[in-house]
Chain A
Amino acid sequence: MRQQLILRIAAKLFIPFILLFALYVQFHGDYGPGGGFQAGVIFAAAFVLYTLIWGVDEAKRVVSPNLLQVLAALGVLIYAGTGIAGIFLGGTFLDYGVLQHDPVHGQHLGILLVELGVGITVAAVMTSAFLCFAGRKRS
């Protein structure tokens, strides 16, 4: 669809705002509706739009498949790592209160890290799943 001028320009206009909105949903999840899952799928939706307009090969040039695989694992590692950090700092698994001196601040930090992990995994898995399906050829 790269020949379609209107689609291309509209996608160019929209994609930055979709990405920005995803980041807003990610980091504003403590205060309003949203969080890692929602931000991840919105982030992936921006890549889906990009792939629709410019094609799978061009999309793979933007985010390499290797990077997506690493990111998918990294998100789970950040989540579980936050839990294990709690053990090392004298608490229990996934106890965020010990991450900082003030338990409430620790909870804030823990939730931020955990949601970040969720967001990274969801965005990477959704994007790579879509690229897998879109890259298949009729046999």
Chain B
Amino acid sequence: MVELVDMVLLGFMAVVAVVVARLRNLFGVVLVSGFFSLLSASMFVVLDAVDVAFTEAAVGAGVATVIMLGTLLLTTSEEKKASGSSLGALLVVLVTGAILVYGTLDMPHYGDPDAPVHHHVAPRYTHDSPEEIGVPNIVTSVLASYRGYDTLGETTVIFTAGLGILLLIGSSFRSRGGRDGDR
């Protein structure tokens, strides 16, 4: 049953990816890529990564789509016809894809208990977290306590990204009022 859901979702994602590549209308591209995000969020739910699915649905399908639509208001919504042949690009894509698929052949199967990732620090976390941290959700205890340094770094990255956006295009953001006419 799960395999069927996997196959349907992955099939949909492949179709959507082809549609995004073929479409010339950028408005359609943005909406369809939002649908792609929603499909990958469902994929994360199937993989039991509900936390990631939350974020993907809110950021990928929600906020990013809206920001891209806002970008289209500033530019045009029709893609320009590319000049020249795209055979070289196709070759690069095919070779890269083949290398990536070749790389997955060495990877352990999904859910394999002998996979290296389950033999490093993960057993200690899952075994000691209930006594040491006492938080039922082990994901939270790893993220916020065992890996607190990493998460502090991630938060700083988000803060820095926001700072960069504010410095680059934030001039209209900081000036307030006085432009009630253009909603």
Residues of chain A touching chain B, judged by Cβ–Cβ distance below 8 Å, are 2, 25, 29-35, 37-38, 41-42, 44-45, 48, 52, 55-58, 60, 64-65, 69, 72-73, 75-76, 79-80, 83, 94, 96, 103-104, 107-108, 110-111, 114-115, 117-118, 121-122, 124-126, 128-138
The 5 closest A-B pairs by CB, nearest first: A125-B162, A33-B50, A104-B134, A55-B183, A94-B148
The answer to whether A35 touches B140 (Cβ under 8 A) is: yes
Q: Known contacts A45-B58, A110-B145, A133-B70: does B137 contact A31 (CB below 8 Å)?
A: yes
Q: Does B37 touch A at the CB level, under 8 Å? A: no
Q: Does B176 touch A at the CB level, under 8 Å? A: yes
In the complex, how many residue pairs between chain A and chain B have their CB atoms under 8 Å apart? 165
Contact with A along B52-73 (1 / 0, CB 8 A): 0011001100110011001101
Of B62, B144, B152, B161, the contact of A35 (CB 8 Å cutoff): B144
State which size class the interface on B falls in. Answer: 35 or more
Q: Which residues of B contact A44 (CB under 8 A)?
A: 58, 63
Give Cα A80 to B154, complex, Å: 12
Q: State the majority secondary structure of interface residues on B.
A: helix
Give Cα A16 to B172, complex, Å: 28
The answer to whether A115 touches B152 (Cβ under 8 A) is: no
Q: Which residues of A contact B156 (CB under 8 A)?
A: 76
Q: Known contacts A35-B51, A42-B58: does B134 contact A121 (CB below 8 Å)?
A: no
The answer to whether A132 touches B183 (Cβ under 8 A) is: no
28 A-B contact pairs sorted by A residue (CB < 8 Å): A29-B140, A30-B137, A31-B135, A33-B51, A35-B51, A37-B154, A38-B54, A41-B59, A41-B63, A42-B54, A48-B62, A56-B183, A57-B180, A65-B174, A72-B159, A79-B152, A96-B148, A107-B141, A107-B145, A110-B144, A110-B145, A115-B140, A129-B67, A130-B67, A134-B67, A136-B74, A137-B172, A138-B74
The answer to whether B173 touches A132 (Cβ under 8 A) is: yes
Contact with A along B171-183 (1 / 0, CB 8 A): 0111011011011
Give Cα A133 to B70, complex, Å: 7
Q: Which residues of B contact A111 (CB under 8 A)?
A: 133, 135, 140-141, 144-145
Give Cα A52 to B63, complex, Å: 11
Q: Which residues of A contact B151 (CB under 8 A)?
A: 79, 114, 118
Tell me which residues from 122 to 153 in chain B have a Cβ below 8 Å from any Cβ of chain A: 131-137, 139-141, 143-145, 148-149, 151-152
Q: Does B155 touch A at the CB level, under 8 Å? A: yes
Q: Does B158 touch A at the CB level, under 8 Å? A: yes
